[in-house]
Each structure stands twice: as C-alpha cells, then as structure tokens.
Structure 1
Amino acid sequence: MKTVLLQGKRVTDRVFEPAQLKRLEDMGAELVIFREEDNASPEEAAELMRGAEVVITSWGCPKLEGAVLEAAPDLKAVLHAAGSVKHVVTGEVWERGIRVTSGAAVLSRGVAETALGLTIMSMKNFIGAAAAVKGSGWWNQRKDSVRDSIREMYGSTIGVIGGGHAGKHFLHLLKGFQLSALLTDPTYTREMAAEAGAELTGLEELLRRSDIVMVLAPEIPATYRMLGAENLALMKEGATLINLARGSLIDEDALVRELQSGRIQAILDVTVQEPPGAAHPFMTLPNVMLTGHIAGAVNNGLLAIGRFIVDEWGRLAAGEKMEGEIDPSRLDTLA
C-alpha cells in the first residue's frame, strides 16, 4: 500500500527509528517520505498524497481536507503518530469513511508514569526535604515542620479527574499501593471504575477527600475551567493539585488565590499561557512547581509512538482492528 509520511524530517527522525521504517517496507508499504526538515504545506501535502492508501501524520501536519484529500481518493486510513487527531483530521475524513488511529494511548502511558512519580514526590515532600538538607544540614530523626509534612502512599487518598488513556493507566499503576483511589468521569459507571481500581465519585466529593488531586481530563468545552474558586476551596488543607492535562481546565486566578493562602500546593505541567509570563505568580510562589509540559513523551519515549504506528499499519494490512482506532461518535469526549 502506498503510505505517505506527511511530517517533516525533523519529526520523522524523532518518532521513527530507521528499523521501524524498514519494517514498514518489509511488510509491503510503498513509502513516500517528505524529506524537508519542516512539515509539508497543504500544497506539498496534496502533491505527496497522490494515490496514497495510507497517510501517517504527526505534530504540525496540515489538515486533511480539500485538495489534500481529493488527491487520494483511495485513502483507507490515517495513522496519527501523536496524541489528539483534532488538529489534523477533519469532518471530511470521517465523511469519506476513512479509518483513523492515533498514538494517544502510548503517549498517555508516559503521562501516567509521570503522574505516579509526581504523586510520590509530592507525598514525600522531596522539594522541601532537599531544601531543608541544604539549608539546615543533614537530618535523620530531627523533628521539624518539613519532616511533619512527609507522607507515604500507604493509607492516602488519590483523586483522579478523567479516566481516559492516561487516567486509566495511572489507576493501574496505583494498584501496587495500599491506598484509596477516587475517580470522577461522566463516561464511567461504578462497575467500570471498580474494575479500574477506583471508587466513582462526583467532583466535589473527590476534592474534599483527596490528598492528591490528579487532573487528567481532556480539553473539551465541558471541562473548561472545571476547577474554579468554589471547587478549589473544597480541597483539603495540605493537599496537592497536579495538572498534567491542559491549563484551560483550571481557573488560574482562583488557583493563585488558593496558593497564596498557603492551604494547598500545586504541580503544573501545563498552564493557559506557556510559558507563563515572568511576572505571573506561578513563577514566584513557593508552593508551586512548574515542569514545562514534559509529562508526555519528550525524547526517547517518542520512539514508542513510532513503533506503535508501525504495528497499527501491520494490523490494518492484515484486515484487523487497529488498537488505537477512534470511534468518531466519541469525538466530543476526546482530547
């Protein structure tokens, strides 16, 4: 099958190892690879797509619409080597009955692993402990406020907002600990949540009970500023809010006020404006850690997405269902 890689060389080299591209060819793919450093323009994409049966896209690729799709009347599938397909796949793709898959599940595994690491780091107050060691000398059994703030995973309550790919895998990772996991997600039943290892609750109850509030919900209209002043005020004293989703899910002005009170802490991988301006309170508040949008794949982890997309090509060629295939009827619940 003629298979076009629409992303530029810079992205292709970061996502696909040469061995994976060779595997595609060995399985029968007639590869057409865009060789320029940057991604193809719509005009270049239309030229590349002539006669294509499969197109592989990734970050920054042009939308699949108009002349780009018209150049490939036999297009069977879009394999998106990234997360959300909404910036690339248009209504025209779905109207033509073209199948679509993405690497969202693979990308989300990295997010879930980051979520676990940040959860443990927050519970243990590693940042405060490290600063205390440097400022006050080594300590072991010394009694002080830093030591009093250190907690273990045992017996804690972790609240997860969003049970998509990342949320579900995070809950799976939490099964190795003796703790209580809460989940809020309108697409889940109580039975589904229990199978994932969590108790299904409403958002307000989750905020009241959780030591860690992990935000992993999709950025859709229904989640815009879902965490505002009233909800944030429900969080327990000493709790930590961790946002690995998108900045738009939180009313940042309300969060700043809560943080300034000293009641809670926050770890933010994402913000509304990235990066926040130098004068933004997030940059100076002592109870905020900013991680610079690194929760998903950044370097070598990207190669797992490329491997998955090659596997998806193999499943497509064999007439099998692709593991990451997207049901268009669920688009309004997906990032």
Structure 2
Amino acid sequence: MSLRRPRTLLAMSPELRPRLLDAAADRRLREVALIETDSVVDDFGRPGAAAAALAEAEILLTCWGAPAVDARVLAAAPRLRAVVHAAGSVKQLVTAACWDRGIAVSCAAAANSAPVAEYTVAMVLLSNKRVMQLREEYRSVRGRRHDWHQRYAHAGNYRRTVGVVGASRIGRRVIELLRPYDLELVLYDPYTSAEEAARLGVRPVGLDELCRVSDIVSLHAPELPRTRAMIDRRRLGLMREGATLINTARGSLVDTEALTDELASGRLHAVIDVTEPEVLPAESPLYDLPNVLLTPHVAGSLGNELHRLADSAIQEIARYAAGLPFAHPVHREDLDRTA
C-alpha cells in the first residue's frame, strides 16, 4: 500500500532551501510529502501562489527565517495540522494560537545538538591544553627555540574539572562525550535530582560552587527570564584565575560588560560563540583579546551539518504520513524550561 503524502509547504529563508535540502534530501522529501510549491514562503501575508498553498497545506516544513504562525496565519490555513521545524527552538515560530488549535509540533533540536556538543568538547580539550595561547606565542617567537613545557607547565586535561551549567539535551551530550576523558565533571541544574546526576556520572553542585571549582565553565542552559545574566560579575569573580568560560548557549546568560572586563584584565579565558547583542559592536575588545576565541554563532549546524536537520524533518513527516506520533515532539508545557 502506498504511503499517504500530506500536502506540505516550505516556510523559511529562500536562500536556505538549497543548503538545507540537497538533491537527495529533496527526493526523499517528495517521496513522503506532496510539496505545494517549488518555491518557499518567508511571508505568509503575500497573495497569490503562496496564499493558495497555505490554504491547502496540512504540514508546514519550517526552518530559520520562517514567519511566526499566529492566529492570522492559522485562519488562512484551515487544513494545517502540523509544524515540522528543521531547526532547534520553536519559541519565535509557534504561537499560543497554534497550541490552542492543537497543532502538532516537532523540531530538530536533537539533531542540532550534535554539532554544538562536538564543538563544545573540542573547545574544552583545546582550552585546557591552552592551544589558542600557544599558537599566539609560537607565532611571536617564530624561528627561535622556546621551553614550551616549562612555560605551559600548568596546561593539560588530566584531572581538570569541567562544570556543565544545564543538563539540557546539549549539556547531556557534552557530559556523555567527555566521560571517557580523565576529567571531573560537575553539574548545576535545578531540575536534575542527585540520583539522575549519579546516572549521568556527574557531581551535582550549586552554581556558585561550580564557578569556584571548575577549570572550564560550559553553559548549556536555556534563555529564560530567570537565566538572564546568571553568570554575572559576582560569579565571574568566583572563577579561579586562568579558568575558561565557554558559551555556546545564548549571549543573554552572561553579563557581557562584566565578562569583557574580566577578559581584558587577562584573569580569565573565554570561548564565545553567542553574544548579547548577537553581533558585537565593532569597537568591542572581545574581537582582539588573545585570551578570547570569538565565533559568529556557528557551533550549531553549519555547512553540510544542515543535512542532518533535513533528515530529521523528513523522518518526522514520514512518521506523520504513516499515522505515527512524532519522534521529537514539542510540548507546550515544557517551553517554560527549555530553549
């Protein structure tokens, strides 16, 4: 018996489609879904083909750049039953009107967590090894011998303490990937019990203690009102001299001014993939400090890693078409403590 193919409309930034869906993924998508239009929609208010496609769509396949699905959009989409988001958080996309109407929602946060965790683990190991600082110093003494073992006698990963802030999907994957190394792992997460922490192989601690004892503090908490500036000037001051802060979560978790002051003093190191504001002003010292690795929000899916997001979304549409529940559903009641 042939699979029912639900009518599906793509909503995202138009330039994103060829990067998300290569030829093979596009073929797989068309095997499980009836694509309403070969173009993509980034504005549900436009008349014409996009409006007609929205009126017939049973599923919205969304990604970055998709407009919010609000009551006005739902009124124009009477057949809509599901939103499959080929990216992480749906908070800016799925509105209360969707939940009120009972729209089923899936996201690819699990798929997107893989590269973030891999990036974080790489940065943990390189930071403890002081690779970025070694590179700068080696460049400065080029052509001359230097006693690097004496100069960096404090470097290395053996028995270092890594503090993970947030037992989120990404935080748990980071813990899993770091487990084989000779590291002590400590965790701060108010929702994780002592028994669960033991199963994860980490020692649960308060946030202040985590800042005090960790050589690396790695942030994996969601962006919520109560997590804003959770790493403030006082907690940065608790961190031991030479410790490294890694932020691949959200810039709002850290007091940017306080962090900049600490880094400019040379007391701490940092790996910063997310900032507040999202693009720092050109005059920010963080661009040039030798103890800072600053990247433009690329720890998540980049390049061919977007194909993992597409695969996840296509698999969810296939499950829907087969009458199965989503493997990666998003529930309204979880949004107040997740990204």
Match of 1:43 among 46, 52, 75: 46
Residue of structure 1 equivalent to 2:91: 86
The structure 2 residue matched to 1:32, chosen from 23, 29, 36, is: 36
Farther-moved stretch of structure 1 (303-312 vs 181-190): 181-190
Aligned to 2:240: 236
Give the stretch that moved more between structures: 94-103 or 195-204.
195-204
Tell which deviates more after alignment, 154-163 or 311-320.
Answer: 311-320
CA contact (8 A) 1:55 1:77 kept: yes
Q: What is the CA–CA distance in structure 2 between the aligned matches of 1:142 and 1:265, rounded to whole Å?
A: 19
TM-score where L is the length of structure 1: 0.93
**Kindly tell me: are residues 8 and 255 of structure 1, through their superposed partners in 2, closer, same or farther at Cα, counting changes over 3 Å?**
closer
SS at match of 1:89: coil
Q: Is the 8 A contact 2:221 2:249 kept in 1?
A: yes
Displacement of 1:66: 2.6
| Partners of 1:160 and 1:213 within 8 A in 2 | yes
Distance of 1:255 and 1:79 partners within structure 2: 37
> 5 Å matches for 1:159-238?
159-238=163-242
Q: Given residue 28 of structure 2, which amino acid in structure 1 is its aligned partner?
A: R
With 194-203 and 171-180 compared, the bigger mean Cα shift is at: 194-203
Task: Tell me the SS of whatever aligns to 2:159.
Answer: coil
Alignment match, 1:157: 161
Q: Deviations over 1:230-284 (max 9, x none)?
A: 1111111111001111111111111122223322111111111233222222123
Residue 159 to residue 320, structure 1, CA distance change in 2 (3 Å): same
Task: Measure the CA separation in 2 of the matches of 1:240 and 1:200.
Answer: 20
Aligned to 1:300: 304
Pairing 1:252–2:250 present:
no
Equivalence for 2:73:
68
Matched, 1:7 2:12: yes
- What residue identity is the alignment partner of 1:323? A
Shift of 1:143: 4.7
Change in CA separation of 1:142 and 1:330 when aligned onto 2, cut-off 3 Å:
closer
* CA spacing shift, 1:138–1:187, aligned 2, 3 Å: farther
Q: Is 1:273 matched with 2:277?
A: yes
- Which is further off, 133-142 or 229-238? 133-142
Distance 1:195 1:321 in 2: 28
| SS of residue paired to 1:43 | coil
Query: How far did 1:139 drift?
Result: 5.0
Counterpart CA distance in 2 for 1:80 and 1:51 is 19
Structure 2 residue 288 is matched with structure 1 residue 284 = yes
Deviations 1:147-198 (A, max 9, x none): 224212x211111111112111111101121211111112211222222232
Please state whether the residue corresponding to 1:87 is helix, strand or coil: coil
CA contact (8 A) 1:111 1:295 kept: yes
* Residue correspondences, number: 331
**Change over 3 Å in CA distance of 1:317–1:116 after alignment to 2:** same
Structure 2 Cα separation of the partners of residues 83 and 143 of structure 1: 42
CA distance in 2, matches of 1:289, 1:213: 15
The answer to whether the 8 Å contact 1:8/1:35 transfers is: no
Q: Percent identity?
A: 38
> C-alpha displacement at 1:203, in angstroms?
0.5
Normalising by structure 2, report the TM-score: 0.92
- Unmatched tracts of structure 1, length 5 or more: none
Paired with 2:51 and 2:274, the residues of 1 have a C-alpha distance of 34
Tell me the secondary structure at the aligned position of residue 297 of structure 1.
coil
Aligned match of 2:3 = none
Aligned-pair CA distance for 1:25: 2.5
Structure 1 pair 168–325 and aligned structure 2 pair: CA distance change class (3 A)? same
Q: Is contact 1:160-1:167 (8 Å) kept?
A: yes
Which residue of structure 1 aligns with residue 21 of structure 2? 16
Q: 1:143 to 1:2 in 2, by over 3 A?
A: closer
**Paired residue type of 2:42:** N
- 5+ residue gaps in structure 2? 1-5
